[in-house]
Chains A and B, each alone.
Chain A
Amino acid sequence: MYFYFGLNLWEEITVSEKNNLPIEAFDETRRGLLKSALAAGMTASAAMGMSSVLPLRAFAQDGTASGSITFGNAEPPTSNYWDPAAGFGLVDEQAASLLYDSLLAFDENGKVKPGIATDWMAKDDKTVSLTIRTDAKFHDGTAVTAQDIKASIDRLGLGELAQAMVVTPGISVNILSDNKIEVTSPQIFGPMMNALAYIKILPKSNIDNPDNFKGAANGSGPYKFVSYEGNIVTLEANENYWGGVPNVKTVVFQYIEDAQARISALLSGQVDILTRVSPEDLSRVEGNDDFYVTDISPPAQIIAIYQHNGPLGNPKLRRALAHAIDREGIAKSVMKGLNKVANSSLPTNVAFYEEQAQRFEYDPEKARAIVSEEYPNGVTLRMSTSTLVPNQIQIDQIIAASLEQIGITVEVERLEVGAFRSSYNTYDINLNTLVTFNVDPDFILGLYSGGAGEAIFHFNDAEYLKLLNASRVASSDTRQAAITAAAGYLWDNQVTLYLSDEFWYFIVNNRVQGYRRAPLLGEIFVGEATVST
């Protein structure tokens, strides 16, 4: 039997008996990924890393860390302010996943395992009790205490921080003893355990004095912060880590803005791993035995954001657009077949994913008929384009041309990336990518509700809100159906244009052996790799 934090489920069992969330749907997707990986000709080491079930962090047995791994990234950290809850960013999360621990943790399949908490038990449908380890220490030598955990979680419950959206407002921690706490949500919150596996535990002293986050990070994770200088973030193995010393002594995240410079740095050996590479980069290493490729990627999708305060507030028009745009053609030609076409409002590698029954096949005639009926005098859409999304200019040109073909006038404005990012929701339609921070679909589904839904899409739908809330309070038996219903509502009404998944590919130098990833943004397993000199 298993435990799931939700309505009607309550089995008071401890995690040592069974500790995995039921994400069968994700297992199928993972098997699908494994198949595609093998079909793409990846090396056995990468494929093995995806299929084996290893302990959470299998670190150096002899207590000695050695070697260095350098990641080449296309973006820098969002700031030199190392509060992981203050923002969202790839490099921020890459670093935070190594600098900090959470109460729980994710394994390679995105399932929840012990972290700072050694075991846990549901007390009722809103409260979970956890036992915390006593040997965890922050990098400055101070012990991780219940007070630190309370401060880290309570502040998100207050709703003032960017990452407050991963929890329910009002979530709080009650300290029972030095090593026992209770986390309580004011309402039933299905993704609770995923949230506890994501929220980083910080020193209360830093939370009380936020200036401490400037230019330094003090976590309890397997790596310590060394420096952020000249586009390079340097972390070093924590020799006193409770989970054992990592194999790799130094982890470096290097920002290289130019795509050509990034691939040159990889080919010349200056960086070891390139993140989120393009199809062009993949072709540069095809057949090169010095490198291998892995595609274990966080759930991400390419969407065209619709603003519902204009013509695209009309669901018939949105469905017409879905028929007008040849998504299969775009996926084959522009994306070189590397991304799966969307058949749901969720990415295929998210937990509880199911393909939706309704198909929006490419049918310009059907689309034209809908537009003519709804808008006999014509309709105009404003679109902005930029270079934020890979191949965006090409994709946007195809979309604009497709819409023109069915009788929609499209006014396209090309913007510089910064201007595009700051003004996207003042245009009717524009392309964007959406990356999630763990495999639970609640994060994505939540974006279409409340303040986020208003800000991103000008979307506020009472019917959808009912379905979303139902998915959050569903039991393990019914959660799949509830999530499919919520995702299906978004899909059937084409609340936004779901173009495709965005699979992230990572090119790895062969000198790094045993590199594996979880379907997350962070690099929680990098310390387990070994580096040959």
Chain B
Amino acid sequence: MTKFIFQRVSQAVIIVCMITITVFIILRFSAGDPARIKAPVFARADVIEQYRRDFGTDRPVFEQLSTFVTNAVSGDLGVSFRYQAPVADLIWDTLPKTLALAGTALLISVLFAILLGSLAAQRPKSAWAVIASTVAIFGQSAPVFWTGSILVLIFAVTLGWLPAVGYTGFSSLILPAFAVMLSILPTQLRILRAAMERALEDEYIRTARAFGISNIRIVFVYALKNAFLPLLTVIGLDAGYLLGGVIVAEVVFAFPGIGELALIALNSRDFPLIQGITIVSASIFVIVNLIVDLLYTALDPRIKLEKT
């Protein structure tokens, strides 16, 4: 186990480094000039040149790369061109809000998937099955920006129950989390339902029923344990998707998370901030998938973690 974790962490570090360097080079060679973007249309050439000196973009690319790598190794992600603040501080201010949003959406989605998927699996011709299918089709068809706008129109503008934009507390999480949840629920629901239907057909389930064990215990303890494994894979993938997918929700709801910060950074070609967010996002993705792999062994001891 220790060896496995060490190997995966080493791989993660290499992957994150390669992503960061690739992003660094792409930004420098094709993203445009951040000095031109910061300066207004009518700025003089000497003002633009001063911005380049302030940003360090007047130096050769490989000198910039060397400086960046040297600093990053010691935990210094640089200073944002736009905010004139340490990149690390900006990310730590916004990351918890995005994690709260993504985590809430994921939690609600998993709970719904388990509940609705289990009910639909037990009664394939019932109203629960119809509801599950309808929710899956709707969630897959409706983009986040559309569901978000509709939710705001109903619950914020018309009813005035919840805030439309920004972050003012827990109530600000509800609408964006719901919109994001609807985008990831369909796949989780289908996977869980299919896995649960297979699990409920196994012989040990029949044996459990014969012993008079309650249906709730059979479904949510015994069958779910087996049906959960495929869902766990999807959760791992969704965690990665959410890091990028919440950008849309954060823009629609003006939610001050890392997704919106990334969008601002991209629009203003804020190279240090883009790189910092890339490092953090890639690291989170890798860590989440490592945790998912470890959870596999916890859920099913038959699975051994082998060399990959």
Binding site for A on B (CB under 8 A): 31-34, 36-48, 50, 81-85, 93-94, 149, 152-153, 156-157, 160, 163-167, 251-254, 256, 260, 263-264, 266-269
Contacts and interface: CB of A to CB of B under 8 A. Distances in A.
Interface string A144-169: 00000000000000011110010000
A310 interface: no
B260 A421 contact: no
A264 B251 CA distance: 13
Given A78-B82, A254-B166, A268-B163, A422 B252 contact: no
Contacts of A455: 42-45, 48
Interface stretch (A54-62, A192-200, A225-233, A469-477): A225-233
B83 A260 contact: no
A43 interface: no
A128 interface: no
Given A268-B160, A432-B41, 9 more contacts: A79-B83, A87-B39, A165-B44, A267-B157, A270-B163, A422-B36, A422-B37, A434-B42, A455-B48
A448 B77 CA distance: 41
B166 A232 contact: yes
Nearest to B167: A230
Given A230-B93, A232-B166, A423-B32, A264 B84 contact: no
Contacts of A231: 166, 254, 256, 260
A162 B251 contact: no
Given A162-B39, A452-B44, A256 B165 contact: yes
A451 B46 CA distance: 9
Contact of B82 (A79, A257, A265, A417): A79
A256 B260 CA distance: 10
Interface of A: 76, 78-81, 87-89, 159-162, 165, 214-215, 229-232, 254-258, 260-262, 264-265, 267-270, 305, 417-419, 421-424, 432, 434, 447, 450-452, 454-456
B85 A214 contact: yes
Contacts of A450: 44
Contacts of A87: 38-40
Given A258-B251, A261-B251, A76 B264 contact: yes
Contacts of B84: 79-81, 214-215
Contacts of A254: 165-166, 254
A257 B263 contact: yes
Given A79-B82, A418-B32, A261 B42 contact: no
Given A214-B85, A418-B269, A256 B45 contact: no
Contact of B254 (A88, A261, A454): A261
Nearest to A453: B42
A432 B43 CA distance: 14
Contacts of A256: 165-166, 254
Contacts of A434: 41-42
B43 A162 contact: yes
30 contacts: A76-B264, A79-B38, A79-B83, A160-B50, A162-B39, A162-B47, A215-B85, A232-B166, A256-B166, A257-B263, A258-B254, A261-B165, A261-B252, A262-B165, A264-B165, A265-B166, A267-B157, A268-B164, A269-B160, A270-B163, A418-B266, A418-B267, A418-B269, A421-B36, A421-B37, A423-B32, A424-B41, A447-B42, A455-B43, A455-B45
A257 B251 contact: yes
A148 B199 CA distance: 78
Contacts of B160: 268-269
A229 B93 contact: yes
Contacts of A265: 164-166, 254
Contacts of B47: 161-162
Nearest to A303: B41
Nearest to A76: B264
Contacts of B39: 87, 162
B163 to A, nearest CB: 6
Contacts of A89: 40
Contacts of B48: 455
Contacts of B38: 78-79, 87
Most interface-central of B37, B44, B167, B266 (chain A CB within 10 A): B44
A419 B33 CA distance: 8
A254 B44 CA distance: 30
A365 to B, nearest CB: 34
A254 B254 CA distance: 10
B253 A261 contact: yes
B260 A257 contact: yes
A532 B54 CA distance: 45
B126 to A, nearest CB: 38
Nearest to A230: B256
Contact of B153 (A78, A230, A258, A264): A264
Nearest to B82: A79
A257 B82 CA distance: 16
Contacts of B85: 80, 214-215
Given A80-B85, A264-B157, A454 B45 contact: yes
A432 B36 CA distance: 14
Nearest to B39: A162
Query: What 3 pairs across the A-B complex have the smallest Cβ distances?
Result: A230-B256, A422-B36, A422-B32
A452 B269 CA distance: 23
Nearest to A454: B45
A422 B269 contact: yes
A62 to B, nearest CB: 30
Contacts of B82: 78-80
A445 to B, nearest CB: 12
Contacts of B81: 79
B216 to A, nearest CB: 41
Contacts of A214: 84-85
A336 to B, nearest CB: 22
Contacts of B156: 264, 268, 270
Contacts of A78: 38, 82
A255 B82 CA distance: 15
B27 to A, nearest CB: 11
A408 B82 CA distance: 40
Could you say which of A214, A254, A268 has the most chain B C-beta atoms within 10 Å of its C-beta? Answer: A268
Nearest to A417: B267
Given A261-B252, A264-B156, A267-B157, A88 B40 contact: yes
Nearest to B165: A265
B256 to A, nearest CB: 4
B252 A258 contact: yes
